[in-house]
Structures are given as structure tokens and as C-alpha cells.
């Protein structure tokens, strides 16, 4: 088996962040999944709840928590074989490769998924992505579901990078892509509607999710956001893991 490696984020105990939980967001909300969190991101959302995957000491990025992380303490390099072995111990029915931004290591994801399937047998595969990096053609048939979350202006990212037209067009053309937008205020809906028109994304493939890193903050935005979903024929998604576990690693 290949000994190629990937960078993984770490949990609160310094171990690779590979864990079983329920899927807390989007089209698979409530389903049991085994998560593999990769380190590194090409975007830097000011409210990101996994800033430890990218907001490292010595970088110019800013975040609302105003905390910088030591990269040597926050990421580990592991081989496909080692990752697959850890995943197999959790007996997954489905996996979610998340981040950070997994597509930064896109050339290695085919090998990782193949190694996991060799150890675990057929498993449902989801990749969570910000949509700014298109998937390689050879990767697409191995993925059952792309959870694409383009970042709006309130994230603080440069739209020229965050809303890469070629990449978003590629995801929009894939039948296994579902789109999730983080909504902080009603004004954000105008951006979402403009993007769905531009990339011809059917509203039934769109989820709107309230911005929030605490249960109270999520609930505060849920009622009016649900009403917007009804108005526009879009789906509402909660942040179930936040209600159950809080904003913590490994959940």
C-alpha cells in the first residue's frame, strides 16, 4: 500500500482528528459518519470554527478569536495506510473528509479513499469543501457527495479567490454536489440568489445554515432563516453537533 502522506489536524489530545459522530449539517444531517479532518485552508473566514487548521503563527491572517496556533502542535503527517487503519477501527458506514480545505491535498484524496475502501469495504464518501478548488476528474467517481460551502462577503475572504468561477461551475455540474451557505444576516440572501442564478444551481440543492459557534447564536438566527428557506424553496440546515457538543474538536 502507498506510503504517501497527508496533513491531518489534531484533536485535544494531540492525536489525528479521526472520529465518529453524527453529520451535523447539510444533506446528510443526523447520519452516522466517521470524520477525517485534514489540515490547511486556502481561505481564512474570520468566524471559522476550525481556525486551528490554518491560523498559524507567522501568518498574516486574522480571526475573531485573535488566537494564533503553533503548526507543529496542530497537524500531523500520516500515511494512507495509517489513516485507513484508524478509520477501520471505527467500523464506518460512511466517511466525511473535511478540514480546513481537503482539496488543497486533492492529488492524494484518490489514494486515501482507495486505501480506506480496501480496509473497510464499500463506504459512503463525502468531501466537505469551500468550492474554490475544482476536483480532479479521477476523484469524482469515488465521491458520493460533495458538500460545497462557498464563502460569502461576510466571511472576510477575497471574492476573486473564494468564488472561483471555473471551480464553482465544475461543482454545479456534478449531480452529487449539494451547496450550503452560511447566513449571518438577511442581506446575505442576495449574494446566495445571485450565485444560484449565475451557476444555475437548483434551489432544492441549496441549504441555508445560520452562522453561529454556540447553540444560542444558531437558534437566534434559525427562525427568520427558516422563513427565508420557505420563501425561496431552499433547505434549512441546523448545526446539530453544536447543540449536542458545543464548539469542540472531535465532534
User: Do the domain assignments include residue 114?
Assistant: yes
CA distance 189 to 191: 5
Mean pLDDT for the chain?
Answer: 97
User: Tell me: the pLDDT tens digits for 32-68?
Assistant: 999 999 999 999 999 999 999 999 999 999 999 999 9
Which candidate, 209, 207, 193, 199, places its Cα nearest to that of 174?
199
Cβ 162 vs Cβ 132: under 8 Å: yes
Tell me the percentage of the chain whose pLDDT exceeds 90: 99
**What pLDDT does 1 receive?**
38
Cβ 111 vs Cβ 4: under 8 Å: yes
What CATH number corresponds to the domain at position 184? Answer: 3.20.20.70
User: Do the domain assignments include residue 250?
Assistant: no
Backbone angles phi, psi at 139, to 5 degrees: -80, -35
CA distance 234 to 196: 11
- The mean per-residue pLDDT over the stretch 231-236 comes to 98
CA distance 227 to 250: 32
What count of other Cβ atoms lies within 10 Å of the Cβ of residue 230?
10
CA distance 19 to 52: 17
User: Which of 2-11, 146-155, 221-230 is least confident?
Assistant: 2-11
pLDDT category at 14 given cuts 50, 70, 90 is very high
Cα angle 131, 103, 171; round to 5:
35
Those residues whose C-beta lies under 8 Å from the C-beta of residue 58, and which sit 6 or more positions away, are 68
Cα angle 222, 224, 230; round to 5:
100
User: Do the domain assignments include residue 20?
Assistant: yes
CA distance 179 to 234: 10
User: Tell me: the pLDDT tens digits for 172-190?
Assistant: 999 999 999 999 999 999 9
Q: What total of structural domains would you count in the chain?
A: 1
User: Tell me: the pLDDT tens digits for 73-94?
Assistant: 999 999 999 999 999 999 999 9
**What pLDDT does 133 receive?**
98
**What pLDDT does 4 receive?**
93
DSSP class of residue 181 equals E
- The mean per-residue pLDDT over the stretch 225-244 comes to 97
**What pLDDT does 2 receive?**
46
- The mean per-residue pLDDT over the stretch 118-134 comes to 98
DSSP class of residue 156 equals T
**What pLDDT does 30 receive?**
97
User: Do the domain assignments include residue 14?
Assistant: yes
Q: Whole domain around residue 180: which residue ranges?
A: 5-245
- What pTM was estimated for this model as a whole? 0.97
**What pLDDT does 74 receive?**
98
User: Do the domain assignments include residue 251?
Assistant: no
Amino acid at each position: 500500500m502507498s506510503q504517501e502522506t497527508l496533513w491531518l489536524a489534531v484533536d485535544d489530545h494531540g492525536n489525528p482528528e479521526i472520529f465518529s459522530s453524527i453529520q451535523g449539517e447539510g444533506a446528510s444531517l443526523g447520519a452516522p459518519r466517521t470524520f477525517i479532518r485534514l489540515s490547511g485552508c486556502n481561505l481564512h473566514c474570520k468566524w471559522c470554527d476550525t481556525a486551528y487548521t490554518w491560523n498559524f503563527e507567522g501568518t498574516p491572517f486574522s480571526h475573531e478569536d485573535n488566537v494564533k496556533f503553533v503548526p507543529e502542535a496542530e497537524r500531523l503527517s500520516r500515511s494512507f495506510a495509517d489513516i485507513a487503519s484508524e478509520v477501520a477501527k471505527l467500523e464506518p458506514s460512511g466517511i466525511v473528509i473535511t478540514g480546513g480545505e481537503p482539496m488543497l491535498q486533492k492529488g492524494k484524496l484518490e489514494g486515501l479513499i482507495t486505501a480506506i475502501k480496501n480496509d473497510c469495504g464499500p463506504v459512503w464518501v463525502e468531501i466537505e469543501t469551500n468550492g474554490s478548488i475544482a476536483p480532479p476528474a479521477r476523484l469524482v467517481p469515488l465521491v458520493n457527495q460533495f458538500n460545497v460551502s462557498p464563502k460569502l462577503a461576510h466571511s472576510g475572504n477575497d471574492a476573486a479567490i473564494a468564488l472561483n468561477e471555473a471551480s464553482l461551475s465544475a461543482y454545479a455540474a456534478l449531480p452529487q454536489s449539494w451547496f450550503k451557505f452560511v447566513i449571518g444576516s438577511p442581506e446575505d440572501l442576495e449574494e446566495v440568489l445571485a450565485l444560484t442564478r449565475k451557476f444555475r444551481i437548483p434551489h432544492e440543492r441549496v441549504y441555508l445554515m445560520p452562522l453561529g459557534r454556540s447553540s444560542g447564536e444558531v437558534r437566534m438566527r434559525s427562525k427568520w432563516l427558516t422563513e427565508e428557506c420557505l420563501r425561496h424553496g431552499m433547505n434549512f440546515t441546523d448545526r446539530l453537533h453544536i447543540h449536542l457538543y458545543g464548539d469542540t474538536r472531535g465532534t
